[in-house]
Amino acid sequence: MPHDARRYVPVLLGGLFKLANNRSPAEAFAGIPKKRAYDLLEVRRFIERHGLTRFRRNPHFPVNTLKVMRGAIAAQKLGCFEHYVEAIYVAMWEQERNMGEDSVIFEVVDKAGLDATGLLAAMQDSDVKARLLENTQRSYDRGAFGSPSFFIGDELFFGKDRLREVEEEIMRQQKQDPKP
C-alpha cells in the first residue's frame, strides 16, 4: 500500500465498543475454549505469514489504551506521530511492556528520543481529548465497530486478516480512477 494512501486515525477502542454495543473477542467468547484456541492458532499463522519474528503476546493485555491513544493524537499535533507509534507498538508487542501505566509510557517515549514531558502533558489537553472522542464517533458513524478497521473510500474492511482485501480494493479503485 503506498505510504501516501494511508492515514492512521486514533480511536478509543472501549468507546467504539460502547457506541456499537460490541464486546472484545476475549469477553464475547470467554466461555468457548475451542474458539480461543482457534484464535491463537490464527494469530500464530498470521505471525508466521508476515514474518513477525519479534512479536510477543503481552501478558498485560488487555491494556487500558486511553492515554497512549491520547498520546497518538498529541504526537500528530506535534509532528512526531510515526516515531511515537513505532515506539509504543514495539514496547507493547515486542517488549511486553504495560502501556497502561504512565511511568512506562513516559519511559518508552523518552527512550525513543521524543519529548516525553511534552507528550504526557499534551495528553491532558482538552483539544486532544476532544479529538480522540471525535475520531471515535466519526469512525463509528462510518461503520466501524472494532479495531482494526480500514476504510478505502467508503468501503469498510475489519480485522488484520483483511489486509489482502484492503490491498485489492486499493488496486481496484486505482484502476477505476487512475491519476496522471
The pLDDT tens digits along the chain (180 residues) read 444 567 899 999 999 999 999 998 888 888 999 998 999 999 999 999 989 999 999 999 889 999 999 999 999 999 999 999 999 999 999 999 999 999 999 999 999 999 999 999 999 999 999 999 999 999 999 999 999 999 998 999 999 989 899 999 999 988 887 665
Which 3-state string (H, E, C) describes the chain? CCHHHCCCCCCCHHHHHHHHCCCCHHHHCCCCHHHHHHHHHHHHHHHHHCCCCCCCCCCCCCCCCHHHHHHHHHHHHHCCHHHHHHHHHHHHHCCCCCCCCHHHHHHHHHHCCCCHHHHHHHCCCHHHHHHHHHHHHHHHHHCCCCCCEEEECCEEEECHHHHHHHHHHHHHHHHHCCCC
* CATH topology classification for 3-147: Glutaredoxin (3.40.30)
Q: What is the pTM of this model?
A: 0.88
